[in-house]
Amino acid sequence: MPRSRAPLGRRILLSTALVGAATLAPVSAAPAASPTAANRQQQYAAAAAEYGVPESVLLAVSYLESRWDTNAGTPSTSAGYGPMHLTDATYVKSLGEPGHYGPAEDPRGDDSRAPVHAAEPSASPAAEAALQTLDAAAAVTGSRAEALRSDPAANIRGGAALLASYQKKIGAPLGAGTDPAAWYGAVARYSGSDSTDSAASFADEVYATIRTGAARTTDDGQRVTLAPRDVTPQKSWLDKLGLRKAARAGGVECPQELACEWIPAPYEQYGPGMFDYGNHDLSDRPARQKIEYIVIHDTEETYARTLELVQDPTYVSWHYTMRSSDGHTAQHVRTKDVAWQAGNWYINAKSIGIEHEGFARQGTWYTESLYRNSAKLVGYLAKRFDIPLDRQHIIGHDNVPGTVPSTVKGMHWDPGPYWDWSHYFDLLKAPFQSTGTARTGLVTIDPDFAGNRPAFWGCTLDDNGSPTSEPCPLRGSSSVILHSAPSQDAPLVKDAGLHADGSPSTMEVSDHGARASAGQTYAIADRQGDWTAIWYLGQKAWFFNPAAAPVAKWATGFVVTPKSGRATIPVYGRAYPEAAAYPDGVEYQTIAPLQYTLSAGQRYAVGLVAPSEYYKAWTVDGSSPGDWTVIRGRTTYVQIQFGHRIMFVNKDDVDIRPSAVGAPR
């Protein structure tokens, strides 16, 4: 049997290891400007002039790190601070909870087999390869570490100083008036990558940003603009860095422009029986079974520790892992095979799982480099496997339903409310757009991420691993909060799967029982003034949606409603076939409804029509009857947006109709 994993308690997020760090060359700065520049744009200009860095280079590097945001002085998943993402590898993160998969969820999600749980933690915290750039910036600029973490102007100045130091060390021309094209080596070095492919990928994105330009209002209300400029970088400067030259593994399934390596997950027997194997299943997708979903996860571990875990045959698996600092990607399982990653076997068998280095509870933020490289990978996979770029098919782990009532509460909630779904789909070139009117019956959730800052609590844990009541830092979020009545004072709606005692949902950061997320589409239930109600887990769920600052877009599509004469119909977490579909010798997989019901008069948005399928893969060598076979039935299901998670209803139980028909007026 696989080993179970004990809680890790308090761990060090990053070590003080300086992997690939070059000794900084001293840079002579011009005398500091007397008063600090008044606004963010001026702060970039002043820092660029002081340290002799082209302003376009400084702005573009900062954009790729943070999109010029401050993130309230809190660290990223790779311990980076401020607009320039100065990293502090001695930062200690208090986790206090199990890592990615603890005993509450079986990531394989197939209750016909013995549960798979997590591996034991390593004896010592895993060291993360990261640069201690904040200390280096302090040494060059003379600024205090605390100022570099919390003061945007000091942080920008520190980033400029580092770029200038990197430029000087490789003997490249220095000065604010130099050609930005000559800064390719320093820009690549700023990524912190230890290999040429990852460093070049980062630098290429920086120069792409210079060519296209950018303009936005930051999370603290500062307007920053980078004017477009036609620049062809001098890539020969990359060779001066002395980085490891990573050979691209043959057959790795990544777009060519993405730095990607092959670190295989083991498929091997580790116990006495053919059932004791790990950590994924062989298949032949899409020939054997269509891939319908891409599941977005965060690791709840450092990148280095995540790689250790996926190489353990007694643990579990996913297809890809992406590093936060530079978006570097490792593939572990071929897309044709089934990884044990989503906690629901029906979803696992029809999905590709991508892990992103991050910690959902801590509310840490994701770098722009990670978002961009993830979008490259997802776009490539979606095109290859004909997966629509929408939130019915590109889902978070927090959108995957429990399989049966007993598994609902333990399902994971990553990547959490701080993942910027709207920006992510902008990068996928599939932005959330209004496709209807107030009369077409659907809404697509899409709040302004930076300005939408729900007051969550529980981002820190006590010594027993329980969430404290301390408020989380206010930061941008994709989540819209749902009330039981059109009032901010009304209790939140209920989730019977998370709160079996019938109590309302809470604002605890992991409690998604009263949240709708950007890109999710729901059927409108009612409207009163500035409030809109949607059908959600069998209730009317109200959210504040003023016309002057809407948090949702009108949409059109299809909805399901119970067939005439049916008071309620069951809702399912998986779309398994009926008993008659199973061949002799293969155990029938029970179709068990969840603890929710869909009542007459309610409407839910249709995501897709799903075939009933069960992929039987129980033994390492396919020796069990029916092994490596997809069992298909006559039953057809409809995937709906029922709550925060997608769920399924039997197509025979519902009518499917255009959303405008019978919509509230």
Spell out the domains of the chain, with CATH numbers in brackets. Answer: 40-89+128-241 (1.10.530), 436-549 (no CATH), 561-658 (no CATH)
Q: Which of 195-209, 297-311, 401-415 has the lowest mean pLDDT?
A: 297-311
Instruction: Provide the whole-model pTM.
Output: 0.92
**Location of structure tokens 């996926």:** 310
Cα distances (angstroms) measured from residue 128 to each of 260, 434, 483: 18, 43, 41
With beta carbons less than 8 A apart as the criterion, state whether 216 and 200 touch: no
With beta carbons less than 8 A apart as the criterion, state whether 331 and 263 touch: yes
Percent of the chain past pLDDT 90, that is, above it, reads 78
Q: What one-letter code names the amino acid at 112?
A: S
pLDDT in tens, 346-389: 999 999 999 999 888 876 789 999 999 999 999 999 999 999 99
Which element (helix H / strand E) includes 234? none
Residue 249 Cα to chain centre, angstroms? 25
> If you ran DSSP here, which 8-state letter would residue 446 be given?
-
Instruction: Give me the mean pLDDT over the 432-439 stretch.
Output: 95
Q: What are phi and psi of 72, to 5 degrees?
A: 55, 30
Instruction: Count the neighbouring beta carbons within 10 Å of the beta carbon of residue 474.
Output: 13
Residue 226 — left, alpha, or beta (φ > 0 → left; ψ -120 to 50 → alpha)? beta
pLDDT at 120 over 60: no
Bridge partners, 381 (sequence order): none
pLDDT of residue 520: 98
Q: Give the residue from 102, 83, 8, 45 showing the smallest Cα distance to 227.
A: 45
Distance CA 410, CA 404 (A): 11
Distance CA 455, CA 134 (A): 30
- Quote the mean pLDDT of the chain: 89
Burial grade of 224 (CB within 10 A; 0-12, 13-18, 19 or more): buried
Cα distances (angstroms) measured from residue 96 to each of 6, 10, 608: 11, 5, 39
Distance CA 276, CA 270 (A): 6
Per-residue confidence at 277, pLDDT binned at 50, 70, 90?
very high
With beta carbons less than 8 A apart as the criterion, state whether 512 and 531 touch: no
Q: Where are the alpha helices (DSSP H) in 263-359?
A: 303-310, 345-349
Q: Where are the alpha helices (DSSP H) in 183-301?
A: 184-190, 196-212
388 contact partners, CB below 8 Å, separation of at least 6: 382
Distance CA 367, CA 86 (A): 12
Sheet with 293-298, edge to edge strand ranges = 260-262, 329-331, 320-322, 351-356, 293-298, 394-396
Distance CA 58, CA 141 (A): 16
pLDDT in tens, 627-653: 999 999 999 999 999 999 999 999 999
Pairing status of strand 521-528 against strand 442-445:
antiparallel
Mapped onto helix, strand or coil, the DSSP state of residue 86 is: strand
Distance CA 578, CA 591 (A): 8
Cα distances (angstroms) measured from residue 304 to each of 72, 125, 322: 27, 10, 11
466 contact partners, CB below 8 Å, separation of at least 6: none
Cα distances (angstroms) measured from residue 46 to each of 32, 68, 226, 387, 430: 9, 15, 15, 46, 37
Mapped onto helix, strand or coil, the DSSP state of residue 394 is: strand
pLDDT of residue 36: 58
Instruction: Give me the mean pLDDT over the 97-125 stretch.
Output: 61
pLDDT at 409 over 60: yes
Instruction: Give me the mean pLDDT over the 311-317 stretch.
Output: 92
pLDDT in tens, 485-537: 999 999 999 999 999 999 999 999 999 999 999 999 999 999 999 999 999 99
Q: What are phi and psi of 195, to 5 degrees?
A: -130, 150
pLDDT of residue 103: 53
Mapped onto helix, strand or coil, the DSSP state of residue 498 is: coil
Instruction: Count the neighbouring beta carbons within 10 Å of the beta carbon of residue 63.
Output: 22
Instruction: Give me the mean pLDDT over the 128-151 stretch.
Output: 86
242 contact partners, CB below 8 Å, separation of at least 6: none
pLDDT in tens, 200-223: 999 999 999 999 999 999 999 999
261 contact partners, CB below 8 Å, separation of at least 6: 246, 248, 249, 252, 328, 329, 330, 331
pLDDT of residue 371: 96
Which of 607 and 104 is assigned the larger pLDDT? 607
Mapped onto helix, strand or coil, the DSSP state of residue 597 is: strand
Angle at which helices 55-66 and 196-212 pack, to 10 degrees? Answer: 110
Q: Give the residue from 346, 348, 349 showing the smallest Cα distance to 297.
A: 348
With beta carbons less than 8 A apart as the criterion, state whether 604 and 640 touch: yes
pLDDT in tens, 54-80: 999 999 999 999 999 999 888 887 888
Positive or negative, the Cα torsion across 191, 194, 200, 202? Answer: negative
Mapped onto helix, strand or coil, the DSSP state of residue 197 is: helix
> If you ran DSSP here, which 8-state letter would residue 344 be given?
-
Distance CA 105, CA 116 (A): 9
Distance CA 339, CA 316 (A): 8
Dig out the tokens for 217 from the structure. 């209002």
pLDDT at 1 over 80: no
Distance CA 14, CA 303 (A): 10
